[in-house]
Amino acid sequence: MQNILITGITKGLGFQLAQNSLERGYNVTGISRNKSSINTSNILCDLGDLKNLNYILGKEPNLKKDFDTIILNAGTLGDIKNAREVTNQELLQSLNVNFFANKLIIDHFLKNSNFTKRFIFISSGASTKGYTGWLSYCCSKSISDSLIRVYAKEHQKHIFISISPGAINTSMQKSIQTTDINQFPDMKKFIELNETSSLRSPKEASIKIIDHIEKVSYSDSGMFLKI
């Protein structure tokens, strides 16, 4: 039975990734800010608190096991606002969750486990395209994609992949739906997807992601996959 570590399993895509993995017989451990209703090992940690995350990585007994796959799913959209209004502190908060926490986790397991084969980052189309109002999200997703590409070249005994699952019907969409499209016109796309019931469900997205993870090989390492 494979051991899988997933960040952000409380709700949305992370919840479904954990649920789908359990249904396939995997042993799932989660790291999330709040307690998940899934009956699995759930380590409580705010990934934006890097000092505490670093402590937990070193001390938590449930993280001493060998993980075949680590899915870096946790992320934050941040406030939707004009780029010039985003403070350095607000940008740093998003980077802590969407980038620095991922680096801490990757570095810990590269140093302490020769067993971990796959590091999977849940990315977004926003990492390759600028969206009005999404400075923090676009920047933090983009820099994590770069992280994955560099680690793929430097650590060829492991597999590093970025996966973009498209627009998903999660709580992130709720804040988008109330956005003024006159001020942030790029949000119109997501509002229309919601109105036409065209957003992918977290369950559907999780199944496609796990299907891809099970198929990736060393030759895929460093890739950005849109599913």
Q: Which domains does the chain have, with CATH numbers?
A: 3-169+201-226 (3.40.50.720)
Three-state SS at 90: helix
* 124 Cα distance to chain centroid: 9
Q: How far apart are the first and last CA of the chain?
A: 26
Provide, rounded to the nearest whole percent, the portion of the chain with pLDDT above 70: 100
> How many CB atoms neighbour CB 87 within 10 A?
10
Predicted pLDDT of residue 180: 86
- Return the pLDDT at 1: 59
Tokens 């996966």 belong to which residue?
163
**Tell me, what DSSP letter sits at residue 33?**
S
Per-residue pLDDT tens for 9-57? 999 999 999 999 999 999 999 999 998 888 788 999 999 999 999 999 9
Measured CA to CA in angstroms, residue 107 lies from 42, 47, 156 at distances of 21, 15, 14
pTM over 0.85: yes
Residue 153: which pLDDT band, with cuts at 50, 70 and 90? very high
Q: Residue 147: how many CB atoms within 10 A of its CB? A: 20
**CA–CA dist 200, 172 (Å, integer):** 13
Beta strands in 19-99 (DSSP E): 27-32, 41-44, 69-72
CB neighbour list of residue 52: distance below 8 Å, 6 or more residues apart: 45, 46
Residue 130 φ/ψ, nearest 5 degrees? -80, 135
- With cut-offs at 50, 70 and 90, classify the pLDDT of residue 135: very high
Q: Per-residue pLDDT tens for 74-105?
A: 999 999 999 999 999 999 999 999 999 999 99
- Distance, CA of 4 to CA of 84 (rounded, Å): 40
| Strands of 97-181, DSSP E | 118-122, 159-164
Q: Give the residue from 75, 110, 125 showing the smallest Cα distance to 95.
A: 75
